[in-house]
Amino acid sequence: MNKRQLQHIKDIIIATKENLLKQLDETKEAWREEKGNYADEVDQADHESDFAITLRNRDRERRLILKLDKTLTRIENDPDFGYCDKCGDEIGMRRLEARPTAELCINCKSKSEIHERQQKG
């Protein structure tokens, strides 16, 4: 990949990370501001259930932030960034734009997913 393409992927990662961090901050702020005044126990249970789902989503996003950081480091230090870890082919710009943390090309990823399903099923 050339420097312009690498910078483009870095820009996508940084924008994604900033958005995720903003969402995490908003969730923390909502948690602090929560008054806890509910009409009844059902309302409270609904709210707690919704908030539990939000927390699970934020945890998934926190793990994605770690992957994004790892990918930024990889872009800086690994001259093979953008090439499939399995077959060595280029991952492809469109795939990296959609999923900058991708380490496998679409063909190897598809084969891997098929293999995983066969192992489970």
pTM of the model: 0.81
Could you give all domains of the chain from N- to C-terminal order, each with its CATH number? 3-120 (1.20.120.910)
The one-letter code for the residue type at 110 is: S
Give, for all 121 residues of the chain, the pLDDT tens digit: 899 999 999 999 999 999 999 998 888 887 777 766 777 888 888 888 888 898 898 899 999 999 999 999 999 999 999 999 999 999 999 999 999 999 999 999 999 999 999 998 7
Residue 22 DSSP code: H
| pLDDT value, residue 93 | 97
Q: Which residues contact 82 (CB under 8 A, 6 or more apart)?
A: 1, 5, 6, 9, 90, 91, 96
For the segment 89-121, what is each residue's pLDDT rounded down to a tens digit? 999 999 999 999 999 999 999 999 999 999 987
CA atoms 13, 17, 19, 20: torsion sign: positive
